[in-house]
A and B are shown apart, each in its own frame.
Chain A
Amino acid sequence: MLRKLLFNKQKQFSCLAVRQLAAKPAVPKTLQLEQVHIDEAVKIEPTLAIYTPEIWHRAHETFQNHGLETVNFLRIVTGNPTLLKRRPDRIIDSLEIWRACQFGEHLLHLLLTKYPELLDVNDAHQLLSLSGYLKSRVSTNKNVWKLLMNSPDLISQPELLMEQKFNYMMDEMRIEVPEIVKSAALTLPFEDLRCRHIFLVRLGLFKPRALKADPNEPTTNNRLYQITDTSEKSFATKICHVTMPEYEAFKELLARELEDKSRKSRTDEQLSDDDEEEELH
């Protein structure tokens, strides 16, 4: 819809477009908010109908001042309508918090346009510590950005859970960072990730890399995004080449097996504690 709208706009402002084309041979930027834009946006997201044109223009100006084009502004607003309600200074605060993560302007805009809900973040400390933690695991800001592009729910995940998944992928599955950041593996619950990995291992389709193997050497394993970014059904049938009932049965059996194992280790621990106590006595 928006693209169509833009196309019409281009015709109208052809002289403007020509000038911009001369400056940069890319898609011309639209920098004015027209009534047509607002109407289209309301069509997509009816809850936006309650706001007056002044509010629209005020918000548009705020975003424009921070380098976001009208198209991106419209995408953000349709994705997260409550933004219009917010005071400009609070929007600016959120943008500043994100800017502090140092992804670079362009990448940041891409991220915010893709997931407008991220602008609801208002705790600078929390976000910075998160990005700091992620950076410590995936080493560059760009990788952090890639991670967030694939799994935006990371900002609300406890660090412990993320740590568990990172450790599993790096130590057990022996997957390198470039592959991790290309997948949405961190969105998946840890249990699902482990279940899918163990299933592939037991089928003999996933072999962990040797410890001294060259990381550039290609493997026959499925890529991580194939394993994690698929629905249950396509994972079973396309990746594992088994029937759905088999995978369902496996999930059930594995859950029980792991539960038994943890129960056993717990009782073992208790027993050893008892032994120690006896020794003490």
Chain B
Amino acid sequence: MLKIRNICVMQRRWKGGKKRWNTLQYKKNNCDRALESFDDFYGSVYGNRWKNMRAALLTEHKYVAMVNNFGDTEQTCSMLEMDGAINVKSLIQLAKERQVGGSGEMLKATRGNYDIDQKLDALLRKQQEREVAAVYPSGKEEGHVAPQQLQTNKQESTEAEPEKFEYKQSLTRALEHDVQLDESRLVDPQYGTGGLYEYMPAHSIKGMEDWVAESEHYKYYQTSADFPLTIEADAAFQFPEHLALYTYEMGNCSDFKPPRKCLTGVLSHFLMDGASILPPLMLQVQPGERVLDACAAPGGKSLLMLQTLHLDQLICNDVQESRLNRIRHVMQEYLFDFKQRWSGKRLSFSQSDARNLQDYDSYDKILVDVPCTTDRHVLNKQDNNIFKPSRIKERLRIPELQAGILANCLRLLKPGGTLVYSTCSLSPVQNDGVVHMALQQVFTEHAITATIKDLSQHTALFEDIFKFEQPKGLKYGQMVLPYLPANFGPMYFSKITRNS
């Protein structure tokens, strides 16, 4: 008997109800690859601190709102203030006052790590003295002084310290250096080595003979100072008069309202990663200067420089047409009368590889925000991810590309001009390593020498907002670390002046 119900109702099938483990198993994607690689590399660079950065990188980041000076500025400012945001300018002012007021206390507070070092030094010295006294009881009477007694004042230490730090040793190198044969375990060949060959440990894995660990790759970038280099403190920090930046205090994770249209037809404020404000601010653009943004997309940093209202001429350069279009789009949304007043006059675009720009000796200031592994992006977004397996060659050549761009930009500077090199990566290879490579390159090929500006005085002003890497850990620049209560960055920046 054929019932209609039997035809209409699909019988439920029970076969294959339970899934096999391999179908349930999680497929690795690009973000996981990135995370794995970072765990390996940054874990060895930052040690215990890496896990805190890891958690921060994997969690939503914090924004800073830049008020558009071409819109309803005051209205926007009061709206942001009503939401509890704080003007960065006033925070800086406060920090400055505090520094002037209690400079002694301030130094103690911000340079706590040196205190620890000094304590450690003292402890070591004491221990050494004790040991010396134990071996040579007369040593004390002769006024013996332990050889490694350092007496540096604080000012010196901030400048001298970065040179001493050597982060370059890759894991295998370090192992090779530190390896010490345990004599007691060596077997004398004349006493029964009969079966020992059977226990020969494997030195290579079949099928992976050509394999090179990624951390191994980094040791090719050797840094040995073989070019003249001076490091000096930068002049006093001036916060641009007309720039209004708003942020929430550390620990406050509130959101900003999305930008809205103003009377003039432009958007009220621009939301950007907080750490991105530092490179253009550190560049200290002055009125009447000609400025190049060598890798401009997506345009946030360029816009910030325009918002200072200091610029005479800004050239935004990028490699791809699509990225340039993005900048154009942003500028159109934020600059009043973009087509009539800005485009081609005060603001111009150029599409070229920053390594091939040819107008040498013609810029006062350059912002070199190079392409990098974009640590936060690769951990959170699948698209355009540089940890895609097919892009490994591109990834390994990033430092080379960055050094090429930086070296060329140093040539583009007028003598005496300044550039800020910045990346959003934690990798010391892409940061200090690249600065070193580029400086070396321009010295050997074009006899250009440069001065590194020490920005630690400036970053001290921002310490209420950002968490910075200790200045000891870095050779040529400063870095904002991702930190959960102030989830900005990572952002490395180094200020370099071409010597005239």
Instruction: Enumerate chain A interface residues (CB-CB to B < 8 A).
Output: 199, 202-205, 211-212, 241-242, 245-250, 252-254, 256-257
Apart from A245-B485, A253-B487, 5 more pairs, CB < 8 Å: A203-B54, A205-B51, A250-B484, A256-B253, A256-B255
Contact residue among A241, A246, A247, A257 (Cβ-Cβ distance under 8 Å from B60): A257
In chain B, what residue has the closest Cβ to A205?
B51
Q: A249 with B253: in contact, given A257-B59, A257-B60 (CB under 8 Å)?
A: yes
Mark each residue of chain B from 44 to 82: 1 if its CB lies under 8 Å from any CB of chain A, else 0.
000010111011001110000000000000000000000
For A245, the chain B residues whose CB sits under 8 A away are 250-251, 484-485
Residues of A within 8 Å of B186, CB to CB, are: none
Instruction: Check B55 against A250 for contact (C-beta < 8 Å).
Output: yes
Interface string of B145-158 (1 = CB under 8 A from A): 00000000000000
Q: How far is the CA of A249 from the CA of B485 in the complex (A)?
A: 5
Chain A residues with Cβ under 8 A from B51's Cβ? Answer: 203-205, 241-242
Query: Using a CB–CB distance below 8 Å, which chain B residues touch chain A?
Result: 21-22, 24-25, 39, 48, 50-52, 54-55, 58-60, 250-251, 253, 255, 483-485, 487
Residue of chain A at shortest CB distance from B61: A253
Least distance between A235 CB and chain B CB atoms (Å): 14
- Whether A252 lies near B58 (C-beta < 8 A) is no
Cβ contact within 8 Å between B59 and A202 = yes
Specify which chain B residues have a CB less than 8 angstroms from the CB of A203 in the assembled complex.
51-52, 54-55
* Of B54, B59, B251, B483, most A-chain CB atoms within 10 Å: B59
Task: Evaluate contact between B484 and A204: CB separation under 8 angstroms.
Answer: no
With A202-B59, A204-B54, A253-B487 as known contacts, state yes or no: A248 contacts B39, CB within 8 Å.
no
* Given A253-B60, A253-B253, A257-B60: A246 touches B52 (CB 8 Å cut-off): yes
**Distance of A175 from chain B, by nearest CB (Å):** 16
B56 to chain A, nearest CB (A): 8
The answer on a CB contact under 8 Å between A249 and B24 is no
Asked whether A202 lies within 8 Å of B55 as measured between CB atoms, the reply is: yes
Whether A256 contacts B52 by the Cβ 8 Å rule is no
CA distance A248 to B484 in the complex (A): 9
Query: Are the CB atoms of B39 and A204 closer together than 8 Å?
Result: yes
Cα–Cα, bound, A241→B60 (Å): 21
B52 touches A253 (CB 8 A): no
28 A-B residue pairs with CB within 8 Å = A202-B55, A202-B58, A202-B59, A203-B52, A203-B54, A203-B55, A204-B39, A204-B50, A204-B54, A211-B22, A211-B24, A241-B51, A242-B51, A242-B52, A245-B484, A245-B485, A246-B52, A246-B484, A248-B251, A249-B253, A249-B484, A249-B487, A253-B59, A253-B60, A253-B484, A253-B487, A256-B253, A256-B255
A249 to B250, CA, bound (A): 9
Complex alpha-carbon distance, A199 and B51, angstroms: 11
**Candidates A204, A211, A254; contact of B59 at CB < 8 Å:** A254
Q: Return chain B residues, CB-CB under 8 Å to A241.
A: 48, 51
Q: Once bound together, how far apart are the Cα atoms of A53 and B251, in whole Å? A: 60
What residues on B are CB-neighbors of A248 within 8 Å? Answer: 251, 485
A249's contact among B21, B48, B251, by CB below 8 Å, is which?
B251
Contacts of B21 in A (CB 8 A): 211-212
Contact residues in B for A212 (Cβ distance below 8 Å): 21
Q: How far is the CA of A281 from the CA of B21 in the complex (A)?
A: 42
The one of B22, B48, B54, B253 in contact with A202, judged by C-beta atoms closer than 8 angstroms, is: B54
Nearest CB of chain A from residue B371's CB, rounded to whole Å: 26
- Cβ contact within 8 Å between B59 and A246: no
CB contacts (< 8 Å) of B39 on chain A: these are 204
Are B55's CB and A256's CB within 8 A? no
A246 contacts B483, C-beta separation under 8 Å = yes
Q: A202 to B51, alpha carbons, bound, how many Å?
A: 8
State in angstroms the CA–CA spacing of A257 and B487 once bound together. 14
Provide the residues of chain A in CB contact with B59, threshold 8 Å.
202, 250, 253-254, 257
Contacts of B485 in A (CB 8 A): 245-246, 248-249
**B465: shortest Cβ distance to chain A, in Å?**
14
Interface-centre pick from B48, B251, B484 (highest chain A CB count, 10 A): B484
A219 to B483, CA, bound (A): 28
Which residues of the partner chain A approach B54 to less than 8 Å between Cβ atoms?
202-204
**Complex CA–CA separation, A167 to B316 (angstroms):** 53
Residues of B within 8 A of A199 (CB): 55
How far is A254 from B22 in the complex, measured between Cα atoms in Å? 30
Q: Which residue of B lies closest to A210 (CB)?
A: B25
Complexed CA–CA distance, A249 and B59 (Å): 10
| Smallest CB separation, B490 vs chain A (Å) | 16
**CA separation between A211 and B21, bound complex, in Å?**
6
- In Å, the complex CA distance between A211 and B48 comes to 29
**Distance A252 CA – B39 CA, assembled complex (angstroms):** 25
Q: How far, in whole Å, are A278 and B381 apart by their CA atoms in the complex?
A: 31
Q: Nearest chain B CB to A236's CB is how many angstroms away?
A: 11
A204 to B54, CA, bound (A): 7
Q: Which residue of B lies closest to A212 (CB)?
A: B21
**Least distance between A213 CB and chain B CB atoms (Å):** 10
For B25, the chain A residues whose CB sits under 8 A away are 211
On chain A, the residues within 8 Å of B52 by CB distance are 203, 242, 246
Complex CA gap A157/B79 in Å reads: 45
Q: Which residues of A contact B50 (CB under 8 A)?
A: 204
Hey, which chain B residues are within 8 Å of A204, CB to CB? Answer: 39, 50-51, 54-55
Q: What B residues does A250 contact at CB under 8 A?
A: 55, 59, 484
Cβ of A80 to closest chain B Cβ, rounded Å: 43
Complex contacts, B24 vs chain A, CB 8 Å: 211
Residues of chain B within 8 A of A246, CB atoms compared: 52, 55, 483-485
Closest partner residue, chain A, to B24 (CB atom) = A211
**Which residues does chain A contribute within 8 Å of B483, judged by CB atoms?**
246
Residues of A within 8 A of B22 (CB): 211
In the complex, the answer to whether A256 meets B60 with C-beta atoms within 8 Å is yes
Give the chain A neighbours of B253 by CB distance below 8 A. 249, 252-253, 256
Quick one: closest A residue to B57, CB to CB?
A: A202
Cβ of B250: which chain A residues have Cβ within 8 Å of it? 245
Q: Which residue of B lies closest to A200 (CB)?
A: B55
| Chain B min CB distance to A244 (Å) | 10
